[in-house]
């Protein structure tokens, strides 16, 4: 049995935290797409961990963690991630397996990403510059280097040919890039040797066997639905399918094996990087959300743009993913606002609409809001939904009614323990 957990907004919804909270119910956690552009934060025992490539189930004793074929791996970042984790838990290596079919991010992929963004200037995507776009381009262009290639003597020939091609491409950009390719490659080769300590597997076979053995699997998404290459705010998206379909292609699992689809959203909205954002705030409320929510990118440290909750976008994401249950994150960040707003419709070229049009640029789309009364209590120490302020209950009830999907978890702080299960109510 497989459950899916994914973000419904523009990423950073709190996926890492919830995967960590839910892992005790699962035997296996498997990442299905994205790469080190992701930053998944977990907090427990007064410690904070940020994961980029490693699945967020890694801190649990009995879970196996799979990096699926849909993921792109930068060995250098992967090694740095493990170097930080091993002192906490030296059994980590044995709790991790990597798909042979996952693609590798070469140093030149990241350079190409930088060159492309520099050339775009003001119209840049706002990429994390981790080489994600160029690596997926090589995957679909059928030029990529895969983890399984590392098991053959010819891998360095393939690496050199691809890297050389990239260097020629970089030469075609009218931008200045300062790099030492020998040094970058030496670090890469060292990291590849380190990576061999992890078992490379045919992860689709591993997961099929696990399904036959009645194991419970949680598929962990990265980024968010509005960054999906097909359904996001193109071209301001990432280069993978972040939506439910991505779990099938990114792990080799069939759609009819998926049971629950857990959709994660913040009680408001954030976005990092460029692109349209209808409910974005440029006022004091926006500043308050950013400050109280500590909204800085977990991977790049960039400030996140903040705005009110957008139900039009959430409805769209719920439909595309087939979400069966919702988790609302960072409810505590809304404490202290006199009034809260929720976008229920868009004014699209003078018409009130409830669906996401082709282009949600502010030129065409303005949000239509419903106002709610806020609450002043600090809710970070609450342990039971019966203690929620009435105004928070009203906020939750309205969202559930509009989205026609139960909110099973309300998160009231970054720590593992600050997680309220509403099963008894919902």
What are the residues binding ligand GDP (CB under 6 A)? 7, 11-17, 38-41, 43, 298, 329-330, 332-333, 411-414
Tokens of 344: 């229920």
| Nearest alpha-carbon partner for 410 in 219, 402, 400 | 400
Site string for ligand IMO, 12-31 (x = CB under 6 A): x-------------------
Residue numbers 104-143 binding ligand IMO by CB under 6 A: 125-128, 130, 132-133
Judge if the upstream peptide bond of residue 235 is cis by omega within 30 degrees of 0.
yes
Site string for ligand IMO, 189-228 (x = CB under 6 A): ---------------------------------xxx--x-
Nearer to ligand IMO, 197 or 302 (CB): 302
Check if 310 is active-site.
no
Nearer to ligand IMO, 163 or 238 (CB): 238
Residue numbers 289-318 binding ligand IMO by CB under 6 A: 298
Longest dimension (CA), the chain: 65
Residue 12 is a binding residue for Mg ion (CB under 5 A): yes
- How many angstroms separate the CA atoms of 298 and 215, rounded? 32
Nearer to ligand IMO, 222 or 379 (CB): 222
Q: Which residue in the block uniquely carries the two structure tokens 């399918």?
A: 241
Nearer to ligand IMO, 39 or 278 (CB): 39
Whole-number minimum distance, CB 218 to ligand GDP, in Å? 14
Whole-number minimum distance, CB 108 to ligand GDP, in Å? 27
Would you tell me how many other CB atoms lie within 10 Å of the CB of residue 381? 12
Cα Rg, the chain, nearest whole Å: 21
Would you tell me how many other CB atoms lie within 10 Å of the CB of residue 284? 8
Check if 40 is active-site.
yes
Return the one option of ligand IMO, ligand GDP, Mg ion, none that residue 17 interacts with (CB less than 5 to 8 A, by type): ligand GDP
Query: Looking at 3, 12, 138, 310, which residue is catalytic?
Result: 12
One of 144, 250, 273, 414 touching ligand IMO (CB under 6 A): 273
- How many angstroms separate the CA atoms of 205 and 162, rounded? 29
- How many angstroms separate the CA atoms of 37 and 423, rounded? 33
| Nearest alpha-carbon partner for 366 in 345, 385, 383 | 345
Whole-number minimum distance, CB 293 to ligand GDP, in Å? 6
3-state secondary structure 290-316: HHHCCCECCCCCCECEEECEEHHHHHH
Q: Which residue in the block uniquely carries the two structure tokens 């069966």?
A: 324
Instruction: Output helix, strand, coil percentages for the chain, rounded to the nearest 5.
Output: 35, 25, 40
Tokens of 418: 């600050």
Query: Which residues neighbour 272 within 8 Å (Cβ) at sequence distance 6 or greater?
Result: 10, 11, 12, 126, 297, 300, 302, 303, 304, 305
What's the N-to-C CA distance of the chain in angstroms?
Answer: 23
Whole-number minimum distance, CB 224 to ligand IMO, in Å? 6
Nearer to ligand GDP, 210 or 247 (CB): 247
Tokens of 282: 């440029």
Query: Looking at 3, 20, 40, 228, which residue is catalytic?
Result: 40
Nearer to ligand IMO, 34 or 263 (CB): 34
Residue 49 is a binding residue for ligand IMO (CB under 6 A): no
Binding site for ligand IMO (CB under 6 A): 7, 10-12, 34, 37-40, 125-128, 130, 132-133, 222-224, 227, 236, 238, 272-273, 298
Which residues are known to be catalytic? Answer: 12, 40
């Amino acid at each position: 049995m497989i459950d899916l957990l994914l973000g419904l907004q523009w990423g950073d919804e709190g996926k890492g935290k919830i995967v960590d909270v839910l892992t005790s119910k699962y035997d296996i956690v498997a990442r299905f797409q994205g790469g080190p552009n992701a930053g998944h934060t977990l907090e427990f025992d007064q410690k904070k961990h940020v994961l980029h490539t490693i699945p967020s189930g890694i801190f649990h004793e009995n879970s196996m963690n799979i990096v699926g074929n849909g993921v792109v791996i930068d060995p250098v970042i992967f090694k740095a991630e493990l170097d930080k984790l091993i002192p906490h838990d030296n059994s980590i290596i044995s709790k991790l397996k990597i798909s042979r079919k996952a693609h590798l991010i070469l140093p030149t992929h990241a350079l190409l990403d930088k060159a492309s963004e520099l050339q775009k200037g003001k119209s840049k995507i706002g990429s994390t510059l981790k080489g994600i776009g160029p690596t997926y381009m090589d995957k679909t262009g059928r030029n990529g280097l895969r983890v399984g290639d590392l098991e053959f003597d010819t891998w360095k020939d393939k690496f050199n040919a691809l890297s050389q091609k990239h260097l020629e491409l970089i030469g075609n950009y009218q931008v200045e890039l300062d790099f030492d390719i020998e040094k970058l490659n030496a670090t890469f080769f060292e990291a590849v040797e380190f990576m061999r300590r992890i078992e490379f597997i045919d992860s689709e076979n591993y997961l099929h066997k696990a399904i036959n053995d009645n194991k419970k699997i949680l598929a962990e998404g990265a980024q968010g639905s509005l960054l999906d290459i097909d359904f996001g705010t193109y071209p301001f998206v990432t280069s993978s399918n972040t939506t439910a379909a991505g779990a099938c292609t990114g792990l080799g699992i069939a759609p009819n094996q998926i049971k629950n689809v857990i959709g994660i959203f913040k009680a408001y909205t954030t976005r990092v990087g460029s692109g349209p954002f209808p409910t974005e705030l440029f006022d004091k409320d926006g500043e308050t959300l950013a400050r109280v929510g500590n909204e800085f990118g977990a991977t790049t440290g960039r400030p996140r743009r903040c705005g009110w909750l957008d139900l039009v976008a959430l409805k769209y994401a719920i439909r595309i993913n087939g979400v069966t249950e919702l988790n609302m994150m960072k409810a505590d960040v809304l404490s202290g606002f006199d009034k809260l707003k929720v976008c229920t419709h868009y004014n699209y070229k003078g018409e009130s609409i409830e669906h996401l049009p082709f282009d949600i640029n502010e030129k065409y789309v303005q949000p239509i809001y419903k106002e709610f009364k806020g609450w002043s209590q600090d809710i970070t120490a609450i342990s039971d939904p019966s203690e929620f302020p009435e105004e928070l209950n009203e906020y939750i009830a309205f969202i559930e009614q509009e989205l026609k999907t139960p909110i099973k978890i309300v998160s009231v702080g970054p720590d593992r323990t600050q997680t309220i299960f509403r099963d008894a109510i919902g």
